[in-house]
Structure 1
Amino acid sequence: MMIKITDLKFAYKNDKNVLDNFSVNFSKGKITSILGRNGSGKSTLLKNINSILKPSAGSVYIDGKDVNSMSSKMIAKEIGFLSQRSEGIDATVMDAVLTGRKPHISFNVSEADLAITRKIIKMIGLQPLACNKTTEISGGELQKVVIARALVQEPKILLLDEPVNHLDMVNQLEVLGLIRDITLDRELTSVIVMHDINIAVRFSDELIFMKDGRLYEKCSTSNISKEIIKSVFNLDVDIHSYDNKPFLIVK
């Protein structure tokens, strides 16, 4: 599914615009990472795409349809959303992940719902913990549970706000590799807010840099430049090549 954002504006009550005439397109089959300083509007943008927040002006279109004209159930079927402060529920890992099937369940949980849930749990490495309560697992493991819950929706769009924030390096690479593979295999439109630029470059197709609520630059990972980093983050960097990808080192 294609996401098209046109002239989006959003402000929290009695405050200046957090998003200011923001326009951009996201394509299916690609991972786009959103980068920018704290307060630049990254998380707010995801919540506007998901219709959790309503813009004061402008529109978000999903395959040509205004997201604010879609029902909450339809949005939940189309969009898997992981917020920055996602929390687990007091249940077994299996049951917590299964709640992601809610938009697809009419009456009772079907065998197909259970099969999809088991598949995702195994895929993301949670099978040994399937019967454990979410209150008994680590913060990193809980983060994998909420990621699995988003994936089990079988969405066409993934919106992930710092999805690997609480994971160690090994699990960061594993989970982002999984998201990349699923994005390619299912031709998803995946939009991820990231803080680590080098990790974003490694796993993304495109980068979006935000500054003061506006789109500063959209580029492929190969076209990242010192000038972009200096303007957005006020950092001086050297850019090297590693494994055919740019690698940034702060001076």
Structure 2
Amino acid sequence: MLNVECLSFSYPCGREILRDISFSVEPGAFLAVLGNNGAGKSTLLKCLGGILRPRAGRAMLDGTDLTALSPGALARQAAFVAQENTAAALTVYDTVLLGRKPYLRWGVSGEDRRAVEAVLRRLDLETLADRELDRLSGGERQKVLLGRALAQRPKLLLLDEPTSNLDLRNQYEVLDLVRRICREERLTAVAVLHDLTQALRFCDRFLLLRGGAVHAAGDASVVTPEALAAVYGVEAAVTHAAGEPAVVVRGIRRN
């Protein structure tokens, strides 16, 4: 269980980005963090992943305060897949192996290699193991970076805009893969997403941020036309198309 309690963050200049953020997520759930640009979505993920230190509050994962852990200990609990990922001249195998860094002692062990091989099989990347990352397509690279995170064997997976710069097929594949991993391995995923229809299609929990604070949190019932008007400033309908949920924007909200 992930419990975030009254988490706040401000930069040294004093500008407040997050204010009293509280929410909870069950194991196996896929949470979408939604909101306009500047709402604090990526900052929240960075606080959970130890990249930024909150000014106040805490994030508890199965009773462990993530904000109090050392970087090495945190890496064994949570894995972060950043939005900006440059392709390095490493092979797919070596890139996934980097995910075992929190567990390495004097060298790569048999357990580390078995963990990497299991991830490659899980993500259908075995045939690409010897290919260099900078020679892969965007969708393939995203799967490899997801594999690197999974090699850490975390309880919490943090994804900052995992479908940015991917075509429609790869967006679907990556989000479907994350959803299946959550369900099958009881891993909790928290993802910053911009496509509301995709969020409703693949996620089961939702956190809507507005001006650095929580506007709504819960299941799909919190994604209402009223919430979308308040958070995004649009007139929108939450409907269904071909049996799947969808958000249709009708226009800009006029105050």
TM value normalised by structure 1: 0.93
Look up the match of 2:151. Answer: 152
> Which letter does structure 2 place at the counterpart of 1:154?
R
Contact 1:147 1:163 survives alignment (8 Å): no
Q: Does residue 1:9 correspond to 2:8, yes or no?
A: yes
Deviation at 1:157, TM superposition (A): 0.7
Q: Does residue 1:185 correspond to 2:184, yes or no?
A: yes
Pairwise mapping of residues 39-54 of structure 1 onto structure 2 (< 5 A)? 39-54=38-53
Moved more, 219-228 or 29-38: 219-228
Look up the match of 2:197. Answer: 198
Partner-residue secondary structure (3-state), 2:76: helix
Look up the match of 2:253. Answer: none
C-alpha distance in 1, partners of 2:139/2:123?
A: 12
Q: Does residue 1:169 correspond to 2:161, yes or no?
A: no
Unaligned runs of 5+ in 2: 251-255
C-alpha distance in 2, partners of 1:227/1:209?
A: 12
Look up the match of 1:85. Answer: 84
- With over 3 angstroms needed to count, the CA separation of the structure-2 counterparts of 1:213 and 1:172, relative to structure 1, is same
C-alpha distance in 1, partners of 2:171/2:109?
A: 32
Deviation at 1:60, TM superposition (A): 1.9
C-alpha distance in 2, partners of 1:163/1:238?
A: 25
Q: Deviations over 1:171-201 (max 9, x none)?
A: 2211211111111111111111101000011
> Which letter does structure 1 place at the counterpart of 2:163?
V
Q: Deviations over 1:178-229 (max 9, x none)?
A: 1111111111111111010000111111111000000000131244211011
> Which letter does structure 1 place at the counterpart of 2:120?
I
> Which letter does structure 1 place at the counterpart of 2:55?
S
C-alpha distance in 2, partners of 1:136/1:215?
A: 41
Look up the match of 2:132. Answer: 133
Look up the match of 1:101. Answer: 100
Q: Deviations over 1:64-105 (max 9, x none)?
A: 222232121111011111111133432111111111011122
Coordinate RMSD, CA, aligned: 1.7
Unaligned runs of 5+ in 1: none
Contact 2:216 2:222 survives alignment (8 Å): no
Q: Deviations over 1:6-31 (max 9, x none)?
A: 22211122142100121111221111
C-alpha distance in 2, partners of 1:148/1:122?
A: 10
C-alpha distance in 2, partners of 1:45/1:223?
A: 20
- Count residues with an aligned counterpart: 250
Moved more, 59-68 or 199-208: 59-68
> Which letter does structure 2 place at the counterpart of 1:150?
A
Look up the match of 1:248. Answer: 247
Deviation at 1:63, TM superposition (A): 2.1
Deviation at 1:110, TM superposition (A): 2.2
Q: Percent identity?
A: 36
Contact 2:240 2:246 survives alignment (8 Å): yes
Contact 2:5 2:57 survives alignment (8 Å): yes
Q: Deviations over 1:20-64 (max 9, x none)?
A: 121111221111100000110001001111221111122222222
Look up the match of 1:18. Answer: 17
Deviation at 1:118, TM superposition (A): 2.2
C-alpha distance in 1, partners of 2:115/2:171?
A: 23
